[in-house]
Structure 1
Amino acid sequence: MDISVTYGDEEVAAAAEPALRKLVGDGVPQALAAGDPSLWGPEAKEEAKIRLGWLKLPAASRELLPEITALAERVRAAGLDHVVLAGMGGSSLASEVICATFDVPLTVLDTTDPGQLRRALADRLERTVVVVSSKSGTTIETDAHLRIYEQAFRDAGIDPAGRVVVVTDPGSPLEQVAAEAGYPVVRADPHVGGRYSALSAFGLVPSALAGADVARLLGQAEEARALLGSGSAQDDPGLALGAAIGAAALAGRDKLLLDDSLSPINGLPDWAEQLIAESTGKQGRGVLPVAGIDPTGAPDELVVGIDTDGDVEVRGPLGAQFLIWEYATAVAGRLLGVNPFDQPNVTESKENTARILAAAGAGPLPAGAPALVDGPVEVYGELPGNATDLPGVLTALLSDIPSRGYLAVLAYLDRDAAFDVPVPEDASFEEITDIWAAHDPASLQGLLSIRTDRPVTFGWGPRFLHSTGQYHKGGPQNGVFLQITGAVGDDVEVPGRPYTLGRLQLAQALGDRDALHQRGRPVVRLHLTDREAGVRHLLTAAREV
């Protein structure tokens, strides 16, 4: 098994060399491998004490395999072949990568979009098992998903007790809910933070139920674990990667472009994005991971190839990659002088959302009045550059990005809606792909990226709030933000809660807008009064920039 990290850029190697000498001289590799919580300074020590369990997961998680295997066998024996994962951030991203890489189907609900929920509900409900996954047991999106599915099962004459599996930390409110409802619970290691939990119950349970070989995944991780802590960059891939990321960032190359174009692993950049952004983006510093765009050669870029050539190349199977990236992120955190295990700014948007919902009661949410209307798109916020139409807004946003900054596109929409667009029966694969792309809000990232040398990131809301949202608020003050929301035609009630999904979705966008405004970040919100027409209009406008 080839597990390695190599430097393909002389400048990266030159920057990493003194960092490696310093790390080795300070005994960091051995101390980290042993779980020393003092590595990130006295202020981080108490948090690190309860967040280093991920180092033991390759072996420790094997103890879960009999329980997980028995659960999977019961699910299959009951004829339940549609696995739905209700979880946010660290509770869903790893499972999505695992299942995509092992080529087994998994429906992931990390959204508050009513259309996306309705699509999942309409898909084989009679053969559905829902994994409700939340470390804290209080995640608002996951609570809504559970309530909606419980009601749907009851309405269909199905006992939810046979259809819901819970993954959570011991003693969480969700564990108590599960005990009262009779749901089976798989308890996760409480000493593992969400974004470091890929090899814990959070990553393994839904993946195993979907049919992935999680024992093989752990075996891959165990091989990588044996390499960590050696103190040699040549033999320790986690140390080599962490030194390169941290040293490059300190030298000004703090935009981390993740390239997996030749990798057999599917979607690892989306998982790494949360790990890196949420771990390093604080105290006005950090590393911005960027997935989905090509390098421009800008001086602040560092290209890391996953099984692919780059300034740094990381080779290894998925289980090994998970552990190497986690270890490297902890090393980079030490070099950057930040605590890689806390997320001090994540709660701001959550608190703002709760405040907005409570203050509005049953009345309208405080969306404000549009500053500009261009066809099916309303523009909210301060218009950049005195723009008079949508292409002008996009042009001005790109020009407003600081010299070392970035543009973040944040779409609170249905990420699967484009695949519902009808395609001709005789269409080729390329034609089908083009049709989908023409209706996909994510296409905006590529259209804007080719019009600037600054990185353009794309995140689905509210999913990114549990990921890059920390970097947006806590990282360097050089981001420009473009929110996209959409009108809801067929909303979904959340049983037992005073809001619908659509209302919660908009409140989350407005709450994050307020959090960004409070920190002086420029934000423009585009609201699609007709979602399908609005996406087409927006993409057309981007082509005119």
Structure 2
Amino acid sequence: MSDLLAGPAELAGGLAVHGADTVDRSAAAPVREQLVAREVPARLAAKDPTLWGPDAAAEAQVRLGWVDTHERSRELLPQLAELVEELADLDHVVLAGMGGSSLAPEVIARTLGRPLTVLDTTDPGQVRAALTDRLDRTVVVISSKSGSTVETDSHRRAYWQAFLDAGMTEAEAARHLVVVTDPGSPLEATAAEMGVVTILADPEVGGRYSALTAFGLVPAALAGVAVTDLLDDADALAGSLAQDRDNPGLALGAALGAAATTGRATVALVSDGTGVDGLGDWAEQLLAESTGKAGAGILPVVVESPDAPGATGPDVLTVSYGGALGPGQLPGVEADVAVNGSLGAHFLTWEYATAIAGAALGVNPFDQPNVAESKENTARILAAGAPAEAPTFTEGAVEGYAPAGAPADLAGVLRWLLDGLGDDGYLAVTAYLDRRADAAVAGLRPLLARAAGRPVTFGWGPRFLHSTGQYHKGGPPVGSYLQVTGAVTDDLPVPGRPYTFAELQAAQAAGDRQALADRGRPVLRLHLTERAAGAAQLLDAAKGTRT
């Protein structure tokens, strides 16, 4: 890292990108030179929708508002200040949203040290824990761009019923909800019927690019964040976006594109410990969902620490991120590219870089053509019921549901899954569990990455369906999938719906398995019949896969 920081940096608006030029110039035809020759920086800053080809132009035409949404978002500031003052007695802020509606606010709150409960799950245990936490002091931000997100609609229904069951009138309950959605969405109409305050988001910004719109700013402001600072940070950087030089977004985007087209399409996202907390989870969605389509894409891997398995490798581009850097080196961080600066500048830089990488890869960075597939499968399963499945083996508190020909024991089937990755595959671990109570399961990622010697990602379901789920289905067809589910001992109804949260969660898991299996890729499901014991057993088995 010290050698990296000693070299030239691309700097603007207080954000610096180190090492990008070296990565780009390692390609036979540097990407940046090609982009500049096409006048891409100026055209992107001017929102030219033709940059990604004729097939993408119609989508890009209505999705480029992120380039300057930080300017329009200032119009929200008086409304946000009034809302914060009006709801000052409600000091427990819950955000019910998925994907782009939840990831950026979570990063903002974690980085700036403000309390925010993010509810982006259908696990009944996690939902119940949120519903029973300081209900009388809770304000719930219901965030959905489309206004029809099934998880968020279920959260809205559950909270509304909880408020009424606590003895509130409908008018009192309505005060505890704030809706953020696009103009004209079904949720806008529902909120009006309920008497709930609605703040409309920028309709020309896609969900994963919406950090500096109402989706990011409303929950952050209610949590006590000075959101004006985020907009100021982005504004300080924005002037660089049209430039051929001194443009950090261009430098990062060219490096991502050059690496992806020269054998390093896996990007390890590593926090350098300098004060930007959780940005990797947000950037993971941005990169995976924007580029993972048409058989191409950048595979982001969020690693736990600079020395975690998978942080480096011959076909890995290691990108560290953080806040302001002091003099000297940061021990243990061996990055190819380092990105450091304020959070608002980070958001705009990574969005710009992702759009640039899409141009280099020849994909539309604004659509998500495969995301609906798992949703449609889920709806069919909820309507018709889940297909009957029998475990291929049972071992302690773990039931295995493995493809034909796989070993019938836990250690053996994990080794079989890893051995099948070959020289170009990756493993995606997806856990339809409680990411608070079952947090230990995330320890599977580094254990399996060390054993595999290949990229291993980890995602909580259904959260990842709004993120890396697009890459799993639309990216290079070389993935293998380990799905972990768990028994539910205390279910929770979804008010006004003919299913419970556990049934919805199970249908989402089954729907995603079906979408993956239909592509002919290996899918192993491990079901924890007793969660704590099964998780411990699974982690022990993963430790035993080391070679």
Counterpart in the other structure of 2:329: none
Structure 1 residues 297 and 121: CA distance shift in structure 2, 3 A: closer
Counterpart in the other structure of 1:527: 527
2:224 to 187, 211, 227: 211
Counterpart in the other structure of 1:516: 516
Note if contact 2:20-2:255 (Cα within 8 Å) is conserved in structure 1. Answer: no
Q: Where in structure 1 are there 5+ consecutive unaligned residues?
A: 419-438
Note if contact 2:122-2:501 (Cα within 8 Å) is conserved in structure 1. Answer: yes
Note if contact 1:409-1:458 (Cα within 8 Å) is conserved in structure 2. Answer: yes
**Residue 64 of structure 2 corresponds to residue 39 of structure 1:** no
Note if contact 2:268-2:319 (Cα within 8 Å) is conserved in structure 1. Answer: yes
Deviation at 1:183, TM superposition (A): 0.3
Superposition TM-score, scaled by structure 2 size: 0.92
Counterpart in the other structure of 1:391: 411
Superposition TM-score, scaled by structure 1 size: 0.93
Per-residue displacement from partner, 1:426-454 (whole Å, max 9, x unpaired)? xxxxxxxxxxxxx6110111111211210
Counterpart in the other structure of 2:5: none
Counterpart in the other structure of 1:381: 402
Between the aligned partners of 1:367 and 1:112, the Cα distance in structure 2 is 21
Deviation at 1:12, TM superposition (A): 4.3
Counterpart in the other structure of 1:435: none
Deviation at 1:59, TM superposition (A): 1.2
Deviation at 1:231, TM superposition (A): 1.2
Per-residue displacement from partner, 1:384-421 (whole Å, max 9, x unpaired)? 6x423211111111111131111000000000005xxx
Counterpart in the other structure of 1:370: 391
Counterpart in the other structure of 2:283: 272
**Residue 317 of structure 2 corresponds to residue 317 of structure 1:** no
Counterpart in the other structure of 2:35: 23
Between the aligned partners of 2:23 and 2:254, the Cα distance in structure 1 is 13
Note if contact 1:296-1:453 (Cα within 8 Å) is conserved in structure 2. Answer: no
Structure 1 residues 367 and 196: CA distance shift in structure 2, 3 A: farther
1:91 to 91, 97, 101: 101
SS in 2 for 1:143: helix
**Residue 193 of structure 2 corresponds to residue 180 of structure 1:** yes
Matches within 5 A, 1:137-176: 137-158=147-168, 159-176=172-189
**Residue 67 of structure 2 corresponds to residue 55 of structure 1:** yes
SS in 1 for 2:440: coil
Counting matched residue pairs gives 516
Counterpart in the other structure of 1:282: 293
Counterpart in the other structure of 2:124: 114
**Residue 325 of structure 2 corresponds to residue 305 of structure 1:** no
Between the aligned partners of 2:181 and 2:526, the Cα distance in structure 1 is 36
Note if contact 1:16-1:248 (Cα within 8 Å) is conserved in structure 2. Answer: no
**Residue 456 of structure 2 corresponds to residue 456 of structure 1:** yes
Counterpart in the other structure of 2:358: 333
The one-letter code matched in structure 2 to 1:524 is: L
Note if contact 2:23-2:255 (Cα within 8 Å) is conserved in structure 1. Answer: no
Note if contact 1:405-1:454 (Cα within 8 Å) is conserved in structure 2. Answer: yes
SS in 2 for 1:15: coil
Q: Where in structure 2 are there 5+ consecutive unaligned residues?
A: 1-12, 323-332
Counterpart in the other structure of 2:302: 291
Structure 1 residues 60 and 9: CA distance shift in structure 2, 3 A: closer
Between the aligned partners of 2:472 and 2:197, the Cα distance in structure 1 is 37
Between the aligned partners of 2:28 and 2:343, the Cα distance in structure 1 is 25
Between the aligned partners of 2:21 and 2:202, the Cα distance in structure 1 is 39
Between the aligned partners of 1:377 and 1:255, the Cα distance in structure 2 is 31
Counterpart in the other structure of 1:245: 256
Between the aligned partners of 1:214 and 1:296, the Cα distance in structure 2 is 32
Between the aligned partners of 1:40 and 1:25, the Cα distance in structure 2 is 15
Note if contact 1:8-1:309 (Cα within 8 Å) is conserved in structure 2. Answer: no
SS in 1 for 2:441: coil
Between the aligned partners of 2:19 and 2:237, the Cα distance in structure 1 is 18
Counterpart in the other structure of 1:347: 372
Structure 1 residues 453 and 514: CA distance shift in structure 2, 3 A: same
The one-letter code matched in structure 2 to 1:13 is: R
Between the aligned partners of 2:48 and 2:79, the Cα distance in structure 1 is 30
Deviation at 1:352, TM superposition (A): 0.2
Between the aligned partners of 1:12 and 1:335, the Cα distance in structure 2 is 12
The one-letter code matched in structure 1 to 2:46 is: A
